Amino acid sequence: MDVEDIATLQSQFELEGEGRRITLDLTDISLLDRDAIRFLERCETDAMKLTNCRAYIRDWIDRERKTRADER
């Protein structure tokens, strides 16, 4: 998952409209960069649900969230 994938997902989210609950199934996601982790962290902050998230991705998201909170 990289910047191009993020742009595609953001476009799809915009088409869904306000008030729709979005769930991202991460079953096939195994390779990400830091931008993708930050994007997924923001998705959860915006009440999107991440399912089938590999443990190392979950840990990385949680660390990113903590880092952002510490910067505030």
H-helix or E-strand containing 9? helix 3-16
pTM, to two decimals: 0.86
Q: Which residues are CB-neighbours of 38 under 8 A, at least 6 positions away?
A: 64
Phi-psi region of 23 (alpha: psi -120 to 50; beta: other; left: phi over 0): beta
Question: According to the model, what pLDDT value does residue 33 have?
Answer: 94
Question: According to the model, what pLDDT value does residue 63 have?
Answer: 95
Could you read off the pLDDT tens digit of each residue along the chain, which spans 72 residues? Answer: 989 999 999 999 888 877 788 999 999 999 999 999 999 999 999 889 999 999 999 999 999 999 988 887
- Among the listed residues 72, 68, 11, 6, the one whose alpha carbon sits nearest the alpha carbon of residue 35: 6
Token output for 46: 């915006």
- SS3 category, 51: strand
Question: According to the model, what pLDDT value does residue 51 have?
Answer: 97
Q: Indicate the domain borders of the chain.
A: 3-8+20-71
